[in-house]
Amino acid sequence: MSEVFVLLAEQPVLLLFVVIGIGSAVGHIRVRGVGLSAAAVLFLAIALSAWAASYGIELEITEVLGTFGLALFTFCVGLVSGATFFSSLRRSLGPILAVAGVLVTSAVVAVGVGALLGLSSPVVAGAWAGAVTNTPALAAARDAAGDASSPTIGYAVTYLFGVVGMLVAVSAALRSRFDDKDTPPTLVTRTVRVEATDGPRVQDLEEMHGDRIKFSRVRHGEQSPIRTADATDRLLLDDLVTVVGPSDDVEAVTRELGHASSHRLEADRLYLDMRRVTVSAERAAGHTIGELDLLHRFGATISRVRRGDVDVVATDDFQLQLGDRVRVIAPRERMREVSTWFGDSSRGLSDITPVVLGVGMALGILLGTWAIPVGGGVLKLGSAAGTLLVGLVLGRVGRIGPVVTAMPYTAAQAVAELGLLVFLAQAGSRAGAQIGDAFTSGEWLRILALGVVVTSVVAGGLYVVMRRVFAVGGTRLSGIMGGVQTQPAVLAFANARTGYDARVALGYALVYPAAMIVKIVLGRVLGGL
């Protein structure tokens, strides 16, 4: 075996991909629906490095690769979360502040319990990062402590319970999911015959229902052609109109206008056609649907947008991104023109937009080196926090002049996962030789005890605050727990248990960016103590 270790020691890139490949395969193994996912790469790197150390051979993936992988991960997370993060700040500031409070409390508890257990500050910082399963926080702790090994050892010992403990908490939250009061509405399409005589405008009706509904087709009179609905259209007696939205809102607008018709305008393709189109042309990305002015450009409208696996009603202020799939309704003779204008290519799902990736990463890394005066010292955000913040801003802006500043959702997720795997492999290889000392000395028991306390504080605090203070349903709470833990394995578990209920993903996206930023800052603070 020593010959194999010698080869891996001489070929760090080979070592990197061996660890990623085998570790990922192990991570896909599930016991009762639970697997280690990306964390298996970390544990495999630690195990291989420790095994090689027993032969006197040092296996280590270079630090530059680890920094590169981490920056890729945090930047892409920022890109896909930007719009959601800033909108959630306006709508859900209370829950986000509560998340920050729970994490700060857990850090204070970690310092106190760590002191009682006789653990060093770098170990405490790493153990806290592992207990909240956040690799960027580990990187921040290592940088602030000036010690790459001790925080990683603490992280590796506590990480597994950080995952398992939160899975138990999610299971507890989901026990009450059948009593949730915040079940998301299902989008339905209905044709309504107008009986109202006051000639209501389409725009007024949409605004009255908080833009939760969308009028897509209208026919004025029995002999008139079906056409796309305009915001300025007035609905007259005996008109037929198609409305899309949540079932409750569609039911309400049906009662206001008249009654559900046996006719289905959406099934009549004589005048209008309907097609799912992928946004792959940069001219369409980064603009709101209203800015595209499709009605006057093509006589077309968009009724729904699918981003990832979630469908939403297409409102005028919804900003399109590369890779979005839009449901377009347009005159039959112009549908091909509309499709060509949007691009409708699989490239929209996979283009990594190199200009945005290069410039954004560079700006984020520069921001991370900026020394911020704090008290008598300085605080540097580090490359992880810097790239995350720049990614969030670029994801929110969407477009600067002719340049699209976001990346397709699918491509960004793939790049983020690759970056995470590279960082985990590097971090594990660095700590493998030293972790043996922690286990032989018995220190690992104290580190594990600290991790159990921290994870329990976070899980228990979230459950009490979200359920009692904000009355969050169990399904959405499971997503919030995964987002606060910044743990894909928890998200996957909750999705599997709920049949991919949209509330899980919404809860996860609501708190993930804020939790990521708070954890990186706290990691630096704990590492610098």
Candidates 213, 242, 209, 218; CA nearest to 313 is 213
Instruction: Summarize the confidence of residues 6-26 as an average pLDDT.
Output: 89
Pick the CATH number of 187-348 from 3.30.70.1450, 3.40.50.2300, 1.20.1260.10, 3.40.50.720: 3.30.70.1450
Give residue-wise pLDDT tens across range 67-104: 898 889 888 878 887 877 777 677 788 899 999 999 99
413 pLDDT band, cuts 50/70/90, is confident
Lowest mean pLDDT of 234-238, 367-371, 488-492, name the range. Answer: 488-492
What does 82-123 look like in DSSP terms, one character per residue?
HHHHHHHHHH-HHHHHHHHHHHHHHHHHHHHHHHHTT--HHH
Instruction: Summarize the confidence of residues 447-475 as an average pLDDT.
Output: 93
Write down the domain spans for the chain.
187-348
66 pLDDT band, cuts 50/70/90, is confident
pLDDT at residue 141 tops 70: yes
CA distance 298 to 526: 57
Percentage of residues of the chain with pLDDT beyond 70? 92
Helix (H, G, I), strand (E, B) or coil at 410: helix
CA distance 405 to 394: 5
pLDDT at residue 12 tops 70: yes
User: If 0-12 CB within 10 Å is exposed, 13-18 middle and 19+ buried, where does residue 205 land?
Assistant: buried
CA distance 152 to 139: 9
Give residue-wise pLDDT tens across range 288-322: 888 898 988 898 889 888 877 667 788 888 888 88
Pairing relationship of beta strands 310-313 and 301-307 according to DSSP bridges: antiparallel
Give residue-wise pLDDT tens across range 335-361: 999 999 998 887 767 778 888 999 999
Please tell me the predicted confidence (pLDDT) of residue 484.
92
